[in-house]
Chain A
């Protein structure tokens, strides 16, 4: 057997084996490694206002929030811990006969939120 053939018989399995083992190790690493997003002790959801709000006639609450979290439309973002959300916020300001007072009304969302758009209406009851 020539030297070249002997070298091939020795080197080919070593090189191919090394390459396949590396490839297998890489797949194993990929299957067991992921980014862990820990719970960062966030503040809880709440709402606040500078004026006392009236209660809705059919409930004991004064502030209503409907959260629609869409994971279907933002499936790729969910892998990175991000979800698209729409919040519908309703509140009732009582009658007022004073003049020109500023009111501040807001919501605290836990975690980080980035507003992409707003819309609003108001109506007398």
Chain B
């Protein structure tokens, strides 16, 4: 069995090809993939992030969701939305503050150590989700970054306030010195 990986700009395809064994009963296959997912999280503001996972509603829906393998004879059967059993688990540190989730998250639990938070969507159990959206999403804020931003804004105000006052003071002194020199002459 071999796993083939094809990466594009907006999607990635993984598939495995193997010779089907002769069996008298159904055979269950389990596969685990460990991967880095680029683009699944987008930065909306300095400390705001959005996790958005689009799920195909069908191969004949909008062009954005059309499968590029539609013409490939290997992809005769498609599984999406209701025909795809899907569970999404998001593990994030506790200083990531959840602002909103869609669909509404079913399970939110903290790890025993209290330093992580898990969000779980059991999408396949609720196929009606797909009638309204094709996204599983969560917006969250990194509170440590928002503190950093607050400190940067405070520093900025302090430095600029002092700086502008000093510049005015320097200009004032310069004008005064020039006036004194003119008075002497």
**A and B interact physically:** yes
Q: Of B20, B23, B36, B170, which one neighbours A84 at CB under 8 angstroms?
A: B36
Query: Hey, what's the 0/1 contact readout for A37-79 against B, CB within 8 Å counting as 1?
Result: 1111111111111111110100111111111111111110111
Is the CB–CB distance between B76 and A86 below 8 Å? no
Is B87's CB within 8 Å of the partner chain A?
yes
Is the CB–CB distance between B159 and A12 below 8 Å? no
Is the CB–CB distance between B33 and A87 below 8 Å? yes
Chain A residues closer than 8 Å to B46, beta-carbon distance: 31-32, 34
Is the CB–CB distance between A24 and B155 below 8 Å? yes
A46–B77 Cα distance when bound, in Å, is: 11
Is the CB–CB distance between B67 and A48 below 8 Å? yes
Q: Of B39, B156, B164, B165, which one neighbours A27 at CB under 8 angstroms?
A: B156
| Least distance between B145 CB and chain A CB atoms (Å) | 8
Is the CB–CB distance between A81 and B42 below 8 Å? yes
Is the CB–CB distance between A43 and B68 below 8 Å? yes
Majority-rule SS of A interface residues: mixed
Query: Hey, what's the 0/1 contact readout for B3-38 against A, CB within 8 Å counting as 1?
Result: 111011111111111111111111111111111111
| Least distance between B54 CB and chain A CB atoms (Å) | 4
Q: What number of A-B contacts does a CB cutoff of 8 Å give?
A: 415
Chain A residues closer than 8 Å to B80, beta-carbon distance: 44-47
Chain B residues closer than 8 Å to A104, beta-carbon distance: 15-17, 74-75
Known: A108-B13, A120-B32. A45 touches B93 (CB 8 A): no
Query: Hey, what's the 0/1 contact readout for A95-113 against B, CB within 8 Å counting as 1?
Result: 1111111111111111111
Known: A21-B163, A23-B163, A125-B27. A82 touches B169 (CB 8 A): no
Chain B residues closer than 8 Å to A65, beta-carbon distance: 84-87
B97-136 residues with Cβ-Cβ distance < 8 A to A are: 115-116, 124, 134
Q: Of A40, A71, A115, which one neighbours B39 at CB under 8 angstroms?
A: A40
| Least distance between A120 CB and chain B CB atoms (Å) | 4
A68–B90 Cα distance when bound, in Å, is: 6
Q: Of A44, A48, A88, which one neighbours B77 at CB under 8 angstroms?
A: A48
Chain B residues closer than 8 Å to A82, beta-carbon distance: 36-38, 40-41
